[in-house]
Amino acid sequence: MEETAIGIWGVPLAVFAGAIRVSTPFIFVSLGETITERSGRINLGLEGTLVFGAMTAYAVAVITGSPTLGVLAAMMAGAIFGLIHGWICKFPKVNDIAVGIAMMQFGLGLAFFLGKSFIQPVAPKLPSIPLGGWATSPQIQAVLNINVLFFLGAALALFLFWGFKNTRIGLILRVVGDSTDAARAMGIHPDQVRLLATAAGGALAAIGGAYLSLYYPGSWNEGISSGQGLMAVALVIFARWNPIGCFLAALLFGGAGALGPALQSVGVTKGYYLFYAAPYVLTLIILIATSSPTRSLAGAPGALSLTK
């Protein structure tokens, strides 16, 4: 194997490469969830949206031959899922966390149902940008071969960070998220804002799914997501509803997820399966460390049911 050529240095290199490769879906789902949660609503159904987005993107890419069309179709599907979630949560006495769990099961079921016939065909992959031309080592070249969606996600994080602070739409989102009454007093319709914010969150989560099926691991199957959509919810809390924080936290998660395979590639096989748990353990530790029983979380939108 090539790994032996650079020996033990292969581990940090593989973790770095993994962080970039694995983090992209986390970036999109967590940015989407940030938009939704900033409006005061939580969507646990993003796991279902992610998987349905992965299926839609793959199916459309197989049929049309264009991965870009696949991503766009996934966005549409994700937005529809978000609209359904947002519409249902408008009814009084309906618990948004429970609806999220239901939407997750529905999304998974529908994706498995409609995606059955796309397990065999091969879809065209999303393009990536080779930044490693200067390097002589094939490993470093591989590491720096980065997918376009990663850059889009990074740009989106910066844009959202700026947008929340400096635009009128950002202000409206924050007001609705902090106080339904204050928003009403300003003449804003909180339900409409939350509906659109949930739709936007769904569209972004579906892009994360499209990345999974069209780039890495790059095929459609029923086990394509292992909770990325749900971990993103924890990641948003960790990132304190800050888009740039989401981007960095996603990189951290990606790195944790890549640790197991990286160690295995250099011959560390003891406790191999436990390394698969690393991102989940990391999330849990972070949640424990950053939560408090007495005060609500710093930076949390006031109307969010999750943190009450």
Q: How far is the CB of 86 from other proteins (least distance, A)?
A: 13
Residue 307 sits in the site that holds other proteins (CB under 8 A): yes
Q: How far is the CB of 92 from other proteins (least distance, A)?
A: 6
Residue 227 sits in the site that holds other proteins (CB under 8 A): yes
Q: Site mask, other proteins, residues 40-59, x = CB under 8 A?
A: ----x---------------
Please identify which residue in 5, 185, 186, 277 interacts with other proteins, judged by CB under 8 A: 277
Please identify which residue in 8, 94, 169, 185 interacts with other proteins, judged by CB under 8 A: 94
With respect to other proteins, which residue has the nearer C-beta, 197 or 231?
231
Count, residues near other proteins per rule CB under 8 A: 47
Please identify which residue in 131, 158, 169, 284 interacts with other proteins, judged by CB under 8 A: 284
Residue 224 sits in the site that holds other proteins (CB under 8 A): no
**Tokens standing for 7?**
């020996």
Which segment (30-38, 161-169, 188-196, 266-274) binds other proteins by CB under 8 A? 266-274
Nearest to 154 by CA among 225, 237, 250, 218: 250
Q: How many angstroms separate the CA atoms of 285 and 195, rounded?
A: 32
Please identify which residue in 187, 267, 288, 298 interacts with other proteins, judged by CB under 8 A: 288
Residue 298 sits in the site that holds other proteins (CB under 8 A): no
Please identify which residue in 95, 137, 167, 264 interacts with other proteins, judged by CB under 8 A: 95
What residues numbered 107-166 form the site for other proteins, per CB under 8 A?
Answer: 107-110, 112-113, 116
What residues numbered 99-118 form the site for other proteins, per CB under 8 A?
Answer: 99, 101-103, 105-110, 112-113, 116
Q: How many angstroms separate the CA atoms of 288 and 290, rounded?
A: 6
With respect to other proteins, which residue has the nearer C-beta, 10 or 190?
190
With respect to other proteins, which residue has the nearer C-beta, 175 or 263?
263
DSSP the chain: -THHHHGGGHHHHHHHHHHHHHHHHHHHHHHHHHHHHHTT---TTHHHHHHHHHHHHHHHHHHHS-HHHHHHHHHHHHHHHHHHHHHHHTSTT--HHHHHHHHHHHHHHHHHHHHGGGSSS-PPPPPEEE--TT-SSHHHHHHTEEEHHHHHHHHHHHHHHHHHHHSHHHHHHHHHHH-HHHHHHTT--HHHHHHHHHHHHHHHHHHHHHHHHHTSS-S--TTS-SSHHHHHHHHHHHTTT-HHHHHHHHHHHHHHHHHHHHHHHTT--TTHHHHHTHHHHHHHHHHHHH--SSSPPTT--TT-GGG-
How many CB atoms sit inside 10 A of residue 107's CB? 30
Q: How far is the CB of 100 from other proteins (least distance, A)?
A: 9
With respect to other proteins, which residue has the nearer C-beta, 93 or 168?
93
| Residue corresponding to tokens 């804003």 | 188
Residue 230 sits in the site that holds other proteins (CB under 8 A): yes
Q: At what angle do helices 168-178 and 10-38 cross, to 10 degrees?
A: 80
Q: How far is the CB of 128 from other proteins (least distance, A)?
A: 29
- Interaction site with other proteins (CB under 8 A): 44, 88, 91-95, 97-99, 101-103, 105-110, 112-113, 116, 226-227, 230-231, 233-234, 237, 271-274, 276-277, 280-281, 283-284, 287-288, 291-294, 306-307
